[in-house]
Structure 1
Amino acid sequence: MKKDIIIVCITALLVALFLYASFSKYFDYAYFQRSMYNQIFPHWMATCLIYTIPPVEIIIAIGLMQERTRLIALYAFFILMALFSIYIAAGLLHVFSKVPCSCGGIIKSFDYGEHLIFNIFFVALSGTAIWLKKSKHWKRKTVNHLHFNNM
């Protein structure tokens, strides 16, 4: 029961983050587009990302809200945030000639170090939720298996 509460609290934070991030991109769409076209990747890739990142964030948030899709959505959240984190870390390490942030809302006021810490925090939260969810599932499976075998 305690694990369930922790998973729900973490999930609520993850949902809030992705809904906030996606809608802030839509609310300041011109800024988001300019920022994406100012990234290091080719124009065609920026166009693709402009049209896919916000809806993917919304889809993941919706997946997190439903029990039957929560685990897969947690993995998707973890992977997407890890990729964003790697990109920011590469920028901090000067791997690219430029790495302008395309984040919206209050997050765009972060410097790269703050943004990386913020992202790593949410990667760790999603990893924790995955671990709790998997350990809960494994325990339930083991208990059901033992119960079935003892009948």
Structure 2
Amino acid sequence: MKRKIIIELISSLLILLFLYASLSKWLAWRTFIGDMNNQPFPNWMTPFLVWTIPTIEVLIAFALIFEKLRVKAFYASLFLMSAFTIYTVAILFHAFRYIPCSCGGVIRKLTWPQHLVFNLFFVGISILGIMLKKRDPVHAVEV
């Protein structure tokens, strides 16, 4: 019972994160596009990234709602948050000259070290979610 509550809490936190992040990007669309154009990626990637990133965030949040998709959603969350974390580490090591934060809402206000801690927290709970779901007797039978 305790494991189920923790899984639900982890899922809820990730759902809130991804829905908030995607919605804040869409609500500040022009700012998001401008920030993405200022990233160290070629500008031809911007149209792909500005549609793909928030869409993936919504799809992960949606998948976390459903029990049968939850392990895959935890893995997707782990992958996405790990990519953001690696990018944050590269920024902290000054791999790029200038990097605007293309995050939305209050997340945008975090410093880069705070971003790292924030991202690592969500990487950690994604891993914990995977581990707890894999030990779930219902999931073990389905695999």
**Structure-1-length-normalised TM-score:** 0.90
What is the Cα deviation at residue 97 of structure 1?
2.0
Which one has a bigger Cα radius of gyration?
1
Question: In structure 1, how many angstroms separate the alpha carbons of the residues matched to 2:128 and 2:105?
Answer: 26
For residues 43 and 80 of structure 2, the distance between their equivalents in structure 1, rounded to whole angstroms, comes to: 21
1:92 to partner: Cα distance: 0.4
1:65 aligns with 65
Q: Deviations over 1:16-67 (max 9, x none)?
A: 0000000000111111010000000001112210111111100110000001
Gaps of 5+ in 2: none
Give the alignment's Cα RMSD to 1 decimal: 1.6
Deviation larger for 96-105 or 55-64: 96-105
Counterpart-to-counterpart distance in 2, 1:98 and 1:31: 16
**Within 2, Cα distance between the matches of 1:91 and 1:140?**
39
Tell me which residue corresponds to 1:147: none
Moved >6 Å (runs of 4+): none
Gaps of 5+ in 1: 142-151
- 1:63-102 matches, cutoff 5 A: 63-102=63-102
Which position in structure 2 is the counterpart of 1:26?
Answer: 26
Instruction: Measure, in 1, the Cα distance between the counterparts of 2:57 and 2:39.
Output: 19
1-side partners of 2:140 and 2:114: how far apart?
39
* Helix, strand or coil at the partner of 1:41: coil
- Aligned-pair identity (%): 46
In structure 1, the partner of 2:8 is 8
Amino acid aligned to 1:99: I
Deviation at 1:7, TM superposition (A): 0.2
SS in 2 for 1:40: coil
Deviation of the 1:2 alpha carbon: 1.3
- Gap change, CA 1:35 and 1:139, over 3 Å in 2: closer
Following the alignment from structure 1 to structure 2, what is the Cα–Cα distance between the partners of residues 54 and 11?
18
SS at match of 2:40: coil
